[in-house]
């Protein structure tokens, strides 16, 4: 991709494929073992091996030996992996709003009360709701000429 400084592109580059995203979803559901992921996803073993290695390399999963003889490893979310939670929750909310033709099958709820939450984006510092009317994409300090040109274009096309 041409603008490799883009933080969206960098995230997509590491986890932006269907299997990686589904492995991360499963990891948040508590799955850790190769055979658990394989059974859950119906994915070919060689593909699962590659995706797990890629997620380990990206710093999102950690490989841990849980049995010495025979040697067996499990894959556990790192702190950086657990920080991906908001992306999956945003995808879940999106799926529930637009693709849940039978109704809501799974959702985010208050762990104490069981009350369903409606996930939206807010600014951590102010608590203000984030929306495309009041907020926009802009270049940051590390922007190069390509990012600056892209952000100027986006700014001019904002409606």
Q: Which of residues 2-31 bind a second copy (CB under 8 A)?
A: 2-3, 5-14, 16-18, 21-22, 25, 28-30
C-beta of 68 vs 156, nearer to a second copy = 156
Within 90-149, the residues that bind a second copy by CB under 8 A are 90-100, 102-112, 114, 116-125, 127-144, 147
Q: Which is nearer to a second copy, 70 or 127 (CB)?
A: 127
The 3-state DSSP class for residue 54 equals: helix
Short-list 99, 104, 81, 105, CA closest to 21: 81
Residue that is written with structure tokens 């999956």 in the block: 88
Residue closer to a second copy, measured from CB, 68 or 151: 151
Q: Which is nearer to a second copy, 50 or 128 (CB)?
A: 128
Q: What is the CA radius of gyration of the chain?
A: 19
Report d(CA 60, CA 46) in Å as an integer. Answer: 19
Greatest Cα pair distance, the chain, in angstroms, is 62
Q: Scanning residues 47 to 86, which ones bind a second copy (CB under 8 A)?
A: 59, 80, 82-86
Say if CB 48 and CB 38 are below 8 A apart: yes
Q: How many residues bind a second copy (CB under 8 A)?
A: 95
Residue 69 Cβ, how far from a second copy at the closest point, in Å? 25
């Amino acid at each position: 991709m041409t603008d490799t400084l883009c933080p969206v592109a960098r995230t997509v580059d590491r986890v932006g494929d269907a299997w990686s995203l589904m492995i991360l979803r499963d990891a948040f559901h508590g799955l850790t073992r190769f055979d658990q992921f394989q059974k859950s996803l119906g994915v070919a073993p060689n593909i699962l091996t590659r995706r797990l290695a890629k997620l380990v390399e990206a710093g999102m999963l950690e490989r841990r030996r849980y049995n010495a003889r025979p040697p067996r490893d499990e894959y556990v979310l790192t702190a950086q992996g657990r920080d991906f939670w908001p992306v999956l929750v945003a995808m879940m909310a999106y799926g529930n709003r637009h693709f849940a033709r039978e109704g809501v099958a799974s959702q985010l709820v208050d762990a104490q009360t069981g009350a369903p939450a409606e996930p939206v984006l807010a600014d951590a510092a102010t608590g203000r709701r984030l929306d495309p009317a009041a907020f926009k994409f802009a270049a940051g300090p590390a922007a190069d000429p390509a990012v600056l040109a892209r952000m100027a274009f986006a700014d001019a096309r904002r409606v």
